[in-house]
Amino acid sequence: MEGSLYYREDRFDPFTVVLFKALQVLAFLFFIALLAMKPASDPGKVIKRAEFIITMTWPDQHPDDVDLYVQDPAGKLVWYNQRDVGLMVLERDDRGDTNDFAVVDSKKIPLPIREELVSIRGVMAGEYTVNIHLYHHIATAPVPVSVKVEKLNPVVQVIDYKTLFLDHTDEEKTVVRFTLAEDGSVVRLSDAEKSLIDTIAWKKTFRNLRR
């Protein structure tokens, strides 16, 4: 029995054990490094970047439903029934008291901010028209509507900012018409009136299309 025990102890090699443990540590560190490595970028993935932002706001908690319309140089129109067209995207259709809430734990939480925003995610030379439309007037007084047009690149620049008043349902006003050159620079501003609702072929029934 004693000879057997001595034989087993004689075969024990501390260096081998240390080497094995070191290899385990290296394998673990290599695995962690693989997890931490940033995955290769997908060449097919397109990162969206806005060139212009058009923001329309009216007083917080205001009951009126105001809409933002923008037409590009090709005649395409972004509005609440066509939120993504060409290079333009309507980020939110704010309907005043009708839809300004968030659902949290099955409860409706009121959102006081009244805002609609259109992003232009590229440059198309020509004239853009920005209009506001009072879809439903509930308040007794005219509603002040502020619109800001910003050029984002290479630095943020306010192209136009003004506040207009709307006082009756279906009233439409042109805020600004701005013209871009091929390089994206703004070469002309105008506030000449131009109806965008009239450009919708089915104007007579557009009110029934509201979701």
Residue 100: the pLDDT is 58
SS3 32: helix
Enumerate the β-bridge partners of residue 69.
131
Q: Which of 72-86, 103-117, 142-156, 171-185 has the lowest mean pLDDT?
A: 103-117
What share of the chain has pLDDT > 90, as a percent? 55
- Domain regions of the chain by residue span: 2-36, 52-209
CATH level 3 topology of 52-209: Lipoxygenase-1 (2.60.60)
**pLDDT of 31-56, one tens digit each?**
666 555 544 444 443 335 899 999 99
Q: Which long-range contacts (CB under 8 A, 24 or more apart) does 125-128 make?
A: 125/73, 125/180, 125/181, 125/182, 126/72, 126/73, 126/74, 126/179, 126/180, 127/73, 127/177, 127/178, 127/179, 127/180, 127/188, 128/70, 128/71, 128/72, 128/73, 128/177, 128/178, 128/179, 128/180
Once rounded to an integer, what is the mean pLDDT over residues 145-158? 96
Identify the DSSP state of 39: P
**Which amino acid type is present at position 140?**
T
Place of tokens 């306010």: 158
Enumerate the β-bridge partners of residue 119.
53, 89
**pLDDT of 91-116, one tens digit each?**
888 765 555 555 555 665 556 689 99
